[in-house]
């Protein structure tokens, strides 16, 4: 089964909690803090594997979760870091963040790796909080939460040349003649249901990869037929071979076929008509093909490159391969997306510093404090230990939460909520 689009939930592992422990050994008095750090949580990593050709494995495993890091231990022992969850995907896979629609990774080379969800850092043990004024701290950090995100994974086949055209114009026959690919060939429309790839050898020793795509019809760019589902596979190609049934045996006019398919390519994203195109006049051994070709040339003019072939009898095949290989040599790769469509892990542009917190009033009258920074220190606090709670209160005061609440008119005894934690405000 060919699967080229899957939606997944990915969750990286949480960092392990730091430990509160003290050195207790015979003949060693006042040993001091000895709580180790927690281990880092595992990340979810995608790796491109040229041995795969479909996203079928992900279709039946739509929740990917890495393991958490191990908690810190006594005697300053560091918790074990969790192994990354490595997921193999086909070469040509693009991963999108489902909420922002930005590209997280574009895996185009065998062995290429991308971190899709990053594991949380382990919390620090109490050995890190010892000071001259507090030589025996009962304070440690919880580990950071691992990243959670919903992603859309798309496979766009890696091919140099794409075959496009109406159903039953001879695309599958052509790729079966010029390569070792053996697609299903039959005398009915939409015989090809999935893209077929074949390595084509040119008689002079050159080679390229050709993709036979399911037939397009009018409205394909809007979802009609199979076109919308598989038009994405043309995006990586550098040259388009537009196969036309010049015999007219299906009762359609070759020129109208040509215009209709090009209109669909123009309406699809990524400017597919900017790619160089060769018109492959197929079935030249049948009936009125010569007469139809003459009328076709008069309508399209001299600017369109046309190669006459008969895939069934192999007439004109070598000429087509030479022209295609020559065109590939001078055609660069076309960008699939703009820079603003890619998720930036590092940016050098100036951006105003975002507020560390935001305060609103809930429907129940409770003051609600939100913000990534506040929520991060909340998750790293062990509320079972008084020292950790006091540190959390100091951190809120340092970033200005206390003063902001006063400015909003909060009074002693009013409830303040952070995530699922509520406390009374006391000045």
pLDDT digits (tens, 9 = 90+) for 197-217: 788 899 998 999 888 877 565
Give yes or no for residue 46 having a pLDDT over 90. yes
CATH number of the domain bearing residue 227: 3.40.50.300
- How confident is the model at residue 345, as a pLDDT? 56
- How confident is the model at residue 223, as a pLDDT? 45
Query: Which of 119, 138, 155 is the last residue in one of the domains?
Result: 155
Q: Does 18 appear as a known binding residue?
A: no
What span, in angstroms and rounded, lies between the C-alpha atoms of 63 and 12?
A: 11
Q: Does 43 appear as a known binding residue?
A: no
Domain check: are 64 and 17 in the same one? yes
Query: Which of 97, 130, 155 is the last residue in one of the domains?
Result: 155
Q: Does 167 appear as a known binding residue?
A: yes
Domain check: are 138 and 198 in the same one? no
Sorting pLDDT into bands at 50, 70 and 90, what band is 190?
very low
The tokens of 360 are what? Answer: 């609103």
- How confident is the model at residue 227, as a pLDDT? 46
Q: Does 283 appear as a known binding residue?
A: yes
Domain check: are 119 and 148 in the same one? yes
Q: Does 32 appear as a known binding residue?
A: no
CATH number of the domain bearing residue 61: 2.70.210.12
Domain check: are 304 and 402 in the same one? no
Q: Does 20 appear as a known binding residue?
A: no
Sheet with 421-424, edge to edge strand ranges: 358-361, 367-370, 415-418, 421-424
Domain range enclosing 365: 358-424
The tokens of 376 are what? Answer: 């991060």
- How confident is the model at residue 219, as a pLDDT? 45
pLDDT digits (tens, 9 = 90+) for 130-161: 988 888 899 999 999 999 999 999 888 778 89
Q: Does 193 appear as a known binding residue?
A: yes
The answer as to whether 89 is a domain residue is yes
Q: Does 323 appear as a known binding residue?
A: no
Domain check: are 109 and 250 in the same one? no
Q: Does 419 appear as a known binding residue?
A: no
Domain check: are 312 and 190 in the same one? yes
User: How far is the CA of 381 from the CAs of 76, 141, 342, 373, 397, in angstroms?
Assistant: 20, 6, 34, 13, 15
Q: Does 172 appear as a known binding residue?
A: yes
What value does the mean pLDDT take over residues 163-180? 85
Task: Give the DSSP H/E element, type plus range, for residue 323.
Answer: helix 317-329
Q: Does 171 appear as a known binding residue?
A: yes
With 0-12 CB in 10 A as exposed, 13-18 as middle and 19+ as buried, what is 237?
A: buried
Give yes or no for residue 196 having a pLDDT over 90. no
Q: Does 201 appear as a known binding residue?
A: no
CATH number of the domain bearing residue 394: 3.30.300.350
Q: Does 192 appear as a known binding residue?
A: yes
What span, in angstroms and rounded, lies between the C-alpha atoms of 226 and 221?
A: 10
- How confident is the model at residue 263, as a pLDDT? 85
User: Could you tell me which residue, 326 or 30, shows the higher pLDDT?
Assistant: 326
Task: Give the DSSP H/E element, type plus range, for residue 152.
Answer: strand 148-155
Domain check: are 317 and 223 in the same one? yes
* Mean pLDDT score across all residues of the chain: 84
Sorting pLDDT into bands at 50, 70 and 90, what band is 129?
very high
Provide the number of structural domains found in the chain: 3
The answer as to whether 347 is a domain residue is no
pLDDT digits (tens, 9 = 90+) for 370-423: 998 899 999 999 988 899 989 999 999 999 999 999 998 888 888 999 988 888
What span, in angstroms and rounded, lies between the C-alpha atoms of 152 and 98?
A: 6
Domain check: are 68 and 180 in the same one? no
Domain check: are 96 and 206 in the same one? no
Give yes or no for residue 188 having a pLDDT over 70. no
Domain check: are 312 and 268 in the same one? yes
Q: Does 368 appear as a known binding residue?
A: no
Q: Does 310 appear as a known binding residue?
A: yes
């Amino acid at each position: 089964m060919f699967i080229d689009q899957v939606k997944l939930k990915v969750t990286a592992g949480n960092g392990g909690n730091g430990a509160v422990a003290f050195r207790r050994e015979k003949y060693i008095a006042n040993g001091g803090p000895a709580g180790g750090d927690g281990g880092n949580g595992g990340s979810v990593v995608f790796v491109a594997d040229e041995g795969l050709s479909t996203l079928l494995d992900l279709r039946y495993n739509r929740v990917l979760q890495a393991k958490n890091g191990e908690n810190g231990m006594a005697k300053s022992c560091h918790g074990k870091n969790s192994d990354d969850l490595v997921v193999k995907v086909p070469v040509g896979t693009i991963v999108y963040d489902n909420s922002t629609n930005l590209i997280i990774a574009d895996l185009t080379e065998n062995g290429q790796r991308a971190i899709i969800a990053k594991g949380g850092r382990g919390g620090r043990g109490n050995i890190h909080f010892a000071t001259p004024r507090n030589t025996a701290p009962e304070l440690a950090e919880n580990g950071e939460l691992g990243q959670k995100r919903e992603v859309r994974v798309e496979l766009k086949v890696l091919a140099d040349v794409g075959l496009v055209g109406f159903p039953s114009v001879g695309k599958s026959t052509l790729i079966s003649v010029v390569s070792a690919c053996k697609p299903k060939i039959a005398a009915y429309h939409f015989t090809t249901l999935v893209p077929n790839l074949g390595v084509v050898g040119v008689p002079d020793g050159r080679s390229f990869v050709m993709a036979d795509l399911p037939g397009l019809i009018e409205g394909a760019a809007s979802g009609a037929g199979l076109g919308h589902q598989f038009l994405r596979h043309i995006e990586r190609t550098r040259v388009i071979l537009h196969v036309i049934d010049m015999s007219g045996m299906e009762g359609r006019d070759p020129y109208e076929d040509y215009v209709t398919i090009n209109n669909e390519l123009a309406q699809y994203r990524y400017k597919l008509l900017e790619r160089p195109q060769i018109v492959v006049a197929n079935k030249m051994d049948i009936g009125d093909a010569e007469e139809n070709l003459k009328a076709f040339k008069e309508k399209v003019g001299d600017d369109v490159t046309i190669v006459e072939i008969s895939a069934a009898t192999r007439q004109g095949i070598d000429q087509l391969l030479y022209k295609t290989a020559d065109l590939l040599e001078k055609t660069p790769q076309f960008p699939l997306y703009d820079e603003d469509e890619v998720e930036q892990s590092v940016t050098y542009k100036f951006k105003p510093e975002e507020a560390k917190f935001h305060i609103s009033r809930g429907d129940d009258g409770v003051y609600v404090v939100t913000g990534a920074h506040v929520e991060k220190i909340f998750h790293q606090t062990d509320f079972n230990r008084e020292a950790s709670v006091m540190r959390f209160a100091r951190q809120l005061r340092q970033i200005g939460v206390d003063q902001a609440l006063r400015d909003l008119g909060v009074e002693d005894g009013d409830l303040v909520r952070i995530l699922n934690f509520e406390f009374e405000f006391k000045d």
